[in-house]
Amino acid sequence: MDLLLIGGVSGSGKSVALAALEDSGYYSVNNLPPSLLAETAEYLARSGQERVAVALDVKTGPGLPLLGEAISALRTSGWTVRFLYLDAKTDTLVKRFSETRRRHPFSSNERTLTEAIEYERALLADARQQGFTFDTSDLSAAALRGWIKDFISVDPSRLTLLFESFGFKHGVPLDADNVFDVRCLPNPYYEPALAPLTGRDGPVVQFLESYPEVERMYADIYHFVASWLPDYARDNRNYLTVAIGCTGGRHRSVYLVERLARAFSPRYQVLTRHRELHAGPES
């Protein structure tokens, strides 16, 4: 029995994620108070549901501190439980609420929108540690739906590596466990013929592989991740996000993510994400 929990801050895309799971064959439950999680899962199991997705509602408050215990109890009773925590930068959330003219569930006469967002983030701080955090700040709804389908395709009993490229000029991803800065490497952006391309394109690959320092950076990151992965696995980690950043997130970081993903995929479950490739050419 597969139970996938969706949590996170308001405006981070939980409804989009739940809809994607429903399209993938999950029985979906929206806005469930955490205190009713175990009872609802047991009821659905008796009803013959084997794949269930639940979007948790933290506005009700009670039960949230006991979420970890509820997840442990469900796993003991036979459920495979995964908790996906969606997050986004505060300025992104402010923009989303402003564009949709929705009221934040924790806004009031005493709290501004920004204060309501930070209040909810603090309320969820402990619950955030129970799951895999995913930053939706720079994702369209279509991109989030695609990533959700990738997420559910992996075996939850094995550690999954997510290699993520990003541009420092747009901020460090909120979901990163390890961050590597590769801005010191030669930059293809300053070659006019290479600027419109990405780290996936052959001419950019050839440019980068002509520099020995690029090979040295790749080897250092590879050996760091490879040497520490067994320790993360022993710590019962199901997911590890390795973020690699250059200036604009389109050339150097993309090249290294693609190469690292190929190197680790024969032995581990690997997902990749290139945060900035939907943008225009940047350094």
Share of the chain above pLDDT 70, in %: 96
- Identify the burial level of 177 via C-beta atoms within 10 angstroms of its C-beta, where 0-12 means exposed, 13-18 middle and 19 or more buried: middle
Characterise 186 by phi-psi region: left (phi > 0), alpha (psi -120 to 50), beta (else).
beta
The per-residue DSSP string of the chain comes to: -EEEEEEE-TTSSHHHHHHHHHHTT-EEEEEE-GGGHHHHHHHHHHTT--EEEEEE-GGG-TTGGGHHHHHHHHHHTT-EEEEEEEE--HHHHHHHHHHHTPPPTT-BTTB-HHHHHHHHHHHTHHHHTTSEEEE-TT--HHHHHHHHHHHTTS-TTS-EEEEEEEEGGG---TT-SEEEE-TTS--GGGSTTTTTS-TTSHHHHHHHHTSHHHHHHHHHHHHHHHHHHHHHHHTT-SEEEEEEEESSSSSHHHHHHHHHHHHHTTTSEEEEEETTTTS----
Characterise 134 by phi-psi region: left (phi > 0), alpha (psi -120 to 50), beta (else).
beta
Task: Give the model's pLDDT for residue 282.
Answer: 38
Task: Read off the pLDDT of each residue in 225-239 and give the average, rounded to a whole number.
Answer: 88
pLDDT in tens, 183-197: 999 999 999 999 999
| Residue pair 21/28 in contact by the 8 Å Cβ criterion | yes
Share of the chain above pLDDT 90, in %: 58
CA angle 231, 222, 268 (to 5 degrees): 60
The per-residue DSSP string of 13-41 comes to: SHHHHHHHHHHTT-EEEEEE-GGGHHHHH
Nearest to 90 by CA among 174, 181, 26: 174
pLDDT in tens, 127-169: 888 888 999 998 888 889 988 988 888 887 788 999 999 999 9
Task: Give the model's pLDDT for residue 60.
Answer: 59
pLDDT over threshold 50, residue 280:
no
Residues 6+ apart with CB under 8 A from 74: 3, 37, 38, 41, 81
Domain boundary assignment for the chain? 2-151, 160-274
Task: Give the confidence band of 283 by pLDDT, cuts at 50, 70, 90.
Answer: very low
Global confidence as pTM: 0.79
Task: Read off the pLDDT of each residue in 163-180 and give the average, rounded to a whole number.
Answer: 94
Average pLDDT score, the chain: 90
CATH superfamily of 2-151: P-loop containing nucleotide triphosphate hydrolases (3.40.50.300)
Q: Which residue has the higher pLDDT, 44 or 281?
A: 44
pLDDT in tens, 59-98: 755 556 678 888 888 888 888 999 999 999 999 999 999 8
CA distances from 153 to 85, 111, 183 (A): 17, 40, 33
